[in-house]
Amino acid sequence: MRIPMSNDAPNGPGRPKDLAKREAILEAAKALFLSLGYANTSMDAVAAAAGVSKLTVYSHFTDKQTLFGSAVMATCQNQLPDLIFEYPAGAPVQEVLLNIGRNFQALICSDEAVKLSRLIIALGSQDPAFGQFFYEAGPKRVLAGMEALLREIDERGLLRIANPLQAAEHFFCLIKGAPDYRLLLGCAGPLEGDEAEAHVREVVELFIRAFEA
């Protein structure tokens, strides 16, 4: 999604500065997209909020849609990095799933994620392409990581999962469940503390029972 720049070389002298600017741009973009909406957020405004030139913004992100997608990816990556879907040797499958469940629960309950979900729903009613773009930038990557993990769990004989992608979808939908629906509607707050832990544990136990070897 991002055009590589010549100063993106791993050992280039300008890399730390460039990375810092990129992070500043992403943080500014997330804040503006969530507060002003997609249509009302301009690349000029992002540049001003990030303290960089508009040329610098375009050097990292070719257009506003690319910037939006990168902001979505960064939001997911912060809470669910790719490494979380790697199976540690000898780890109990329950602990691996609990770790993912807790992080996903924290992600969907964050104020940032709630505002982003509402924004996508609003944008999707205007242009369905935004919903697909959001899915490709965030949820699809998370599902792909979970699918690969569940396939490995099946191959190890820890659980019997005939369709890892479908099982991954079931897992995340169970974590979201009714609490997330009420949260998005604004008629309930996010699950926190012991309540969130109990919810995640119940989902993991249910999931394991469904796919027991």
Span 46-103, pLDDT tens digits = 999 999 999 999 999 999 989 988 888 887 777 778 888 999 988 999 999 999 999 9
In the chain, CATH 1.10.357.10 covers 80-210
pLDDT tens digits along 166-206: 999 999 999 999 999 999 999 999 999 999 999 999 999 99
Query: Which part of the chain has CATH 1.10.10.60?
Result: 6-64
pTM of the model: 0.78
Q: Return the half-sphere exposure (C-beta side, CA atoms, 13 A cut-off) of residue 144.
A: 10
Least Cα distance to 55 among 33, 35, 25, 19 occurs for: 25
Please provide residue 25's backbone torsions phi and psi, each rounded to the nearest 5 degrees: -65, -45
Return the CATH fold of 80-210.
Answer: Tetracycline Repressor; domain 2 (1.10.357)
pLDDT in tens, 140-161: 989 999 999 999 999 999 999 9
The top-level CATH class assigned to 6-64 is mainly alpha
